[in-house]
Each structure stands twice: as structure tokens, then as C-alpha cells.
A and B are shown apart, each in its own frame.
Chain A
Amino acid sequence: MSDIEKRAITRRGFLKAAGATAASTVVESAHAITKDLRDSANGPAPLGPGAVPFVLHVNGVPHSISIEPRMTLAEALRDTLGLTGTKVVCDRGSCSACTVWVDKVPTLACMTLAIDVGMRNITTIEGIGNADHLHPVQAAFVKHDALQCGFCTPGMVMSCAALLERNPNPSLDDVKHAISGNLCRCGTYPKVFAATLEVAQDRKALSRPVSTSNGKDA
């Protein structure tokens, strides 16, 4: 297969396109179905075990998807929405590689059921920066070489960026505490500390808040 053909129909591209189409057409009906289920009897109706329609709000965009109740948020983000920036390593809550924000609170996507997220806002690494517009924490990670294999990096960035959201002037201990759940097998911690503290310093020098999104509603 030629490069052009590959680019034309990549798996990720296909998933993204399919997801976008579905999102625009099914959002309303899914809301209606969910509402009907709640109102249908006395109290809430059990959902599943088969796939049920569900709306997941990710990076400011509602995505209408069909999920089994057993699907984790990490699986929904990666496998259903194609947002593979969120990494799954241990799948047991032990490494924090899958850290995303649920209403801005750092949360483990692998130990959260997608169906349990309800109307809350999910922010993933794709929601805070991209290759053209890096989040300041991402830019500082690049500058300080705060990654080696990079697999823990999205979760690490989400933890550090969340810290700066709630504490614009963190101490070294604050940074250590904020990433105390994020395991890095490559041992990049000192550079992660330096990168995060520099973002706080730069921000103070410019006396403007850290940009937390690249234009989307993160």
C-alpha cells in the first residue's frame, strides 16, 4: 500500500471521522433516551449489560457513543473516540499514566467507568495542547528534556498542569506531591520538577495566568 493510500484511510483517521459524524447526528436522541430511562419508572432503570447510548463530554465536545457499562473511561477515550493521548499502562490505578481531568480534578481513567462520568467535563492531553500549540507545561517538558520513553508523559503533564491550575506558585514539595502517583520508569522526575517550576516562574514574570487550553473549552 502506498503512503498516500495509507494516509487516506488510517485506522485513527477513520475512527475520528466516524466519531465526528456520529456525534453530530445522535447527540439529541441520546439525551432523549437517557432522560426517558430515568423517567420511565419509579427511580432509575438499570442500564446494560449490552451497549447503551451515552454522551461523553470530552475537551468541550459532546460525543454520542454506544458503550457497555463495563467500559472504562480510558477504553472509551482510546478505543471509541480514538483519543489515544491518554495512555494505559497498569490498568489498575497504580501508575497514573491514564490521568485525565474530570471537572478539572486529576482522575484515573482506567479506574473510572465511562458510564459513571455523566455530564461531567473530561479534559484529556489532547484538550490542553497539540503539536502546533503546546501547553506551557508541554513546552517546558520539551525544553527540559523531561521525558525519555514518553509513555508516562501525558499523565505527568496532566498532573503538573492541574497543580498549576489550583496553585500558581508551587514549591518543589508541592510538585513532588502532585506527581507522587505518576510513575516514571525512566526516572525523569528531577526534570519534571524543573519544568513545572519554570512554568510557574515564567508566568509570574509575565504576570499572566497559564493558558490552560488551546482555544477549546478545556
Chain B
Amino acid sequence: MNRFTFVDCTTVAEALDHLKQGSVAKAGGIDLLDLMKDGIVSPSMLVNIRRVKELHGIETSEQGLSLGPLTTLSELAAHPVIQKTYTALSDAASHAATPQIRNMATVGGNLMQRQRCWYFRSSEYNCLRKGGSECFAQKGENQYHAIMGNEICAMVHPSSTAVPLMAFGAQVELTSKKGKRTVPLNEFYIRPDESLLDETVVKSDELITRILVPAPAAGTRSAYQKYGEKESFDWPLADAGVVLVMDGNTCRSASIVMGVAAPTPLHAKAAEVVLAGKTIDEATARAAGKAAVDSATPLEQNGYKVQLFHTVVYRTILLASGQLKRDPSAVGGMA
């Protein structure tokens, strides 16, 4: 790991004073230390925000949920209101990584993780994201890579919490010395065709100061499921967050987001259209699952992920609507 200076801040104002070229904010530090140990990033200063009190805490109200970005994944998973009203979010938080990592990792840091790609995360490969001229995944080992939006760069974004947060229509409050702005999570991530060097809209002098989730409409039901090779400590091969606004058995509207399908978490708009106004049953759920992957462009080794996403979308729709129990083959399904 490179040498760096460390500044321990206790307020947002102190942290903003130190956020400049070469410095980087550190919350739980899991992904940051991982990247630093592998020499992928080498900041000259770590701005420690973990002890900033105003960035902690979960507030619930009639307007919705206001999450301090330093809320740990364990805290999200254990919160009774989130479990009841924002079920997909607590499910996603409770199935990410390991208990120890969930005790340390924060929801803000989870959103800010860099993408997963073993070429990007190896210092041996100077890929497009690092200013090189080639995406090594296109013709290389690409079994875990993106099946959509993968023409330029095939990395996947691994944030488990981004999937339900986006499905719930969350917004991210960003603060810099110039002031605050609020960005829908839907517009938070930057696709490779927009920029290869910026992965989120967060500027180097900005901090995430709040994550806001609007209160779900009456009749809302939600679910999240993840498939992986291992039951614990594994990034998903496919995951989906589904938020349904139901009127009896009829779906008034659906919000469906897929993780690790593309370089950014992705709304399955075609699947949402299939469900709107329909009675949810096995047939409509399967049709929505199929629509979700219609535009897939798999690489040589990841065609299996197309079927996996079809399955995770339709089974998570049925789980959200209460017509199916958690899939025993999904992560956490056996528990």
C-alpha cells in the first residue's frame, strides 16, 4: 500500500476542507483498502469521515427514509422499519459479503464501490478504465462480466444496495463547499459510453451526505434475490430488486432493477412495461423476465447469465407479489 497522510474529521465541513486533488474520502474503507493494496488507486491523503456524527443514523418518517451514508450494512439489515416497509433493501444488505464486512461497510461506500472486473483490478492490465486502449474482457476471461451495455467496457457494478435503492426511486444528496445538490440514483452512475474515467456523478470535492428513499405508495410490496456461486462472501452472478405497487392481484406499476448485468445497475424497463396493469401470475412474471433480457448481448463465456437474469427477475417478481417463497437456490434461500 502506498504511503499517505490521514486526516481524522468529525464534521462534514472539516472533511470538505480536505477533499481536493489527490485526496479521497474513507468511510468503512473495505473497497478503498482493497484497491490500494492492489495498487489500483494511490491517494496521497485519506480523509476519514467515519467519525462524522451527522453522516450516521437512519430516520424514518411519513415522507420516507433518510439514511446517513455511514449506516453500516448490518444496521440496514437489522432495522425493523426497513425490514417491513423496504424489504428489498434489508434483504440486499443482509446478503452482501460477510457478517464482518457488513459490520464495517457503509451504504454510501457500497454505492461508491468501483466496478468488478479482474482486468481492472489487476495492476498488470492497463485497461480502458485506467487510460489504456483495450478492454481485455471482450476477448478474455469474461464469465462474470456484463451481458448488457458491454460493447466498450464489460465491468459490472457490484453494489447490492444500489439495486433496491434504485428500484425504490432513491435520491442521493451530495454536498460540496459550493452547496448541496440532489441526484436521483437512476442518474448517479455513468455508463462507459458517457465516460470511461468517471463512474459516478460525484465530483472529487463532493461527499454523499444523505440517501433519501421516498415512502412507498399504498399497496407496495418489494423483494430482492441474488444468485451466486457461494452462499457467503461472493459477488452476485445475477441479482434483482423488484418494487410492485399492487391493487389486489393487479400490478399498478413495477420498478425492476438488475445488478451486475451491466456496467451500472440497470432498470429493466421492458419488464416493467410488461407488468403494468396486469394480474401477476407465473405467466406474466415469466414474460417480464424474458423481456428483461431481450436486449442482452452476452460475451463468449457469460451466456448463462442471460438465463440467470431471466430467472432472477421472474422469481423475484413472484416473491414480491407473495406468490413464491424465497428461491432455495438463491443466496440466503436455505436459511
Measured CB to CB, the nearest residue on chain B to A178 is: B99
A68 to B231, CA, bound (A): 37
Question: Which of B7-15, B174-182, B215-223 is the contact stretch?
Answer: B7-15
Secondary structure type dominating chain B contacts = mixed
Complex interface residues of chain A between 90 and 109 (CB less than 8 A to chain B):
91-94, 96, 99, 105-108
Taking a contact as CB atoms closer than 8 A, the residue among B8, B14, B29 that contacts A111 in the complex is B29
Most buried by A among B8, B9, B13, B97: B8
Question: Which of B44-52, B130-138, B270-278 is the contact stretch?
Answer: B44-52
Instruction: Tell me if A108 and B5 are in contact (CB < 8 A).
Output: no
A178 to B74, CA, bound (A): 12
Complex interface residues of chain A between 127 and 163 (CB less than 8 A to chain B):
159
Instruction: Tell me if B5 and A49 are in contact (CB < 8 A).
Output: yes
Complex interface residues of chain B between 18 and 77 (CB less than 8 A to chain A):
18, 26, 29-30, 33-34, 37, 45-46, 48, 50-51
Question: Which of A39-47, A56-64, A78-86, A208-216 is the contact stretch?
Answer: A39-47
Tell yes or no: B304 within 8 A of A by CB: no
Expressed in whole angstroms, the minimum distance between the Cβ of B70 and any Cβ of chain A is 13
Instruction: Tell me if B99 and A44 are in contact (CB < 8 A).
Output: no
Tell yes or no: A13 within 8 A of B by CB: no
Measured CB to CB, the nearest residue on chain B to A95 is: B233
Residues in chain A near residue B204, CB distance under 8 A:
none
Residues in chain B near residue A178, CB distance under 8 A:
99
Question: Interface size of B by Cβ–Cβ distance < 8 Å?
Answer: 36
Instruction: Tell me if A177 and B335 are in contact (CB < 8 A).
Output: yes
Taking a contact as CB atoms closer than 8 A, the residue among A47, A107, A177 that contacts B103 in the complex is A107
A46 to B97, CA, bound (A): 32
Instruction: Tell me if B50 and A45 are in contact (CB < 8 A).
Output: no
Instruction: Tell me if B8 and A108 are in contact (CB < 8 A).
Output: no
Question: Which of A2-10, A23-31, A112-120, A196-204 is the contact stretch?
Answer: A112-120
